[in-house]
Structure 1
Amino acid sequence: MVSENLSELHCNQRTLFGRGSLDKLVPLLASQQQPTLLFCGQSFLQGPAYARLKTSLNDHIIGYEIVRNEASPADIDGWVARWRGHVDRVVAIGGGSVLDAAKAFSAMIQHPLPTARYLEKVGDSAVQAVTLPLIAVPTTAGTGSEVTQNAVVTDQHDIQVKASLRHPVFVPRVAILDPDLLKGAPDNVLASCAIDAFTHLFEAYLSNKGNLFTRQLALTGLKQFVQAWPALNRKDAEGDDAREAMMMASWLGGVSLSSAGLGVIHGIAGELGAIKPFHHGEVCGRLLFPFLEQLAESQQPEQQKLMSELHQQLFSETAASPARHLKNWLQHQSISPFWQEGPSLTLTEVDWILARANSKNSWVNYSQEQMREMIVQAWPIN
């Protein structure tokens, strides 16, 4: 008999991990000469890694596309129109938005229709198992996009949707995970990205689609996160170890969400991202804390069991409420109070989000009122 919770793992064909592993990029490109396009962020072009690699890297790159925000269908269609027939390989160096843009481009340049036709939620055409080979180099530790099979596309103006292009072949062929690329990032960026990784791991761990395999993957990542979270911005050996651990946690978060799915936090965050240009990691982190309060009150037996087991694995001390202990620990140990102050939402925007939000793979089917409570605790409402 086949289990309902049969897990399936898709990951990179090749993963290079460790401090200084970015230096393997140029030899990797040189080993097989192909017309190669680079997607990156402006911060990478202004940073020390690019200054060091620029001359040798440019020998293997035919052009650049700078990604300044989450890519829209129009952005992707424009890149495809510019480069179709000229590119055989893609390199992406940057945060999650850069990697998602490159993944979407790599796939759509092999497809005949406009991007929106293939998008989940709004499209009418299935993606095919074709994409250009992609080398993904994350410069943040959060999304895990370097190992997921989905490319997130966002349109906040015309069709107001945040959705994915998704297929197992969209997993980047190569991932280069160099923790030194996290050095020098602002504290709020480090924390907001890292809490995104945590939410991927945590929701996958709690998922009703999970099994022993997926929960052990998520648990490994959560242990790495706990080690890293308080020391991400340190400039000593402990900071180097923390950034290495968080890079691993982020990659495992991508693997975990692909294998077990996510929960209500992302069920809300994905819809909010369709209308507001908030940092996705911060959105997930803000929703996480009121979710943990609801989790503390939950009588759902599987949730209670999983939280008890998780607490035993992550913390040495006992706690009357594992969920509240986790919330307090996360806030107390954070290098940046990203959940304080910040932007607001209107009542109309809250209603729009709630009309589309869902509980995804949660053990509880959260009501609109429960989800509303999470939102109003996370942001000022005006």
Structure 2
Amino acid sequence: MCGRTCLTLDPDQVLCACKYPNEKLQDDAKQQKFATPEWRAEFNLGRRYQASYNIAPTDITPVIVSAAHFAEAADDQKGTDRIVMPMMWGMIPPWHKGDYRKHGLTTNNCRLEHLMDSKLYRGPFKRGQRCVVVCEGFYEWQTTKQAKPSDREAYLLYVPQEADVKIHDKSTWSPSNVKLLRMAALFDVWQDENGDKMYSYSIITFESTKIMSWMHYRMPAILETEQQMNDWLHFKHVSDSKALAALRPATGLQWHRVGKLVNNSRNKSDECNKPFEAASKPEKPKGMLAWLTGNKQKLHQNKTTNDEVVIKEETAKRSVDEISPTAAESAAKRTRCAPIQIAPPALKSEPEIKLESTES
């Protein structure tokens, strides 16, 4: 499954990192040339993408789609057939009315096994609304060990990089040489009562194979090759069955353990993706100062308990895949290529999201 990601690039840098080989640009010498996707900004009810070391469901992130979804971009002169556009993580049910954040369903992940039986996901899939979520890596908590949810070890998983590239250290790479992790997803378009649109997506997951089963029983559908990318994105030329066949378990992943900072989605520090051993450790106070500091921290913890993310059991109380149409209706009624330094954004005023489950 996938409940948190990391992407610290601005829009121009995302485009640079998403360059891809394009046959339309090949010359007579058959030298491979690369195309750069176009960035398509959408209103999305005023929400914008913000680079972050700790991205959570309901955040806005860059997503790759086929240009064929937009007539004006399908046959442009630049030769690109891919578009990168911001979308909200967590598909909004099209039948939902009211606040888009209050539909009551957990939709950040979509189970591949139930895709064709789901009222929410079957429609977007049959309409060819396939997309690819890009990030530097995703966070996962180890559930195979006996431990309280708040004590589970967190890991950052990412694509194998060149020997001198350390994904957690931006001084060792640039958008032109980093390898982003690419996850298959489905998207849909929701409209509010004023007709304003919000694009949103769900990441596809399936049962973990050996590469991740030691950590968690589910894993996202990761696209490792350009052929898989093309088969998943080109909905006008690739059948549904062939597109599904492109969703194979990843054969190469790397990871390292991270600290507990990532447990709370309000924490946007660049320490979130650092290896656990390298994470900065505050110096312990001594003597009377230690006693006073300890009491102060206890009082603070009592006041902020409700702000802490508690990662609960993996079985969701209400899963989109198990929802019947009748139940669903009832629910409805209720630079360019240079690294940059990301400053932690101001805390959002929205309430903290508690991860009941990251699986639908």
TM-score, structure 1 normalization: 0.27
TM-score of the pair, normalised by structure 2? 0.28
Which is richer in helix? 1
In terms of fraction of residues, the more strand-rich structure is 2
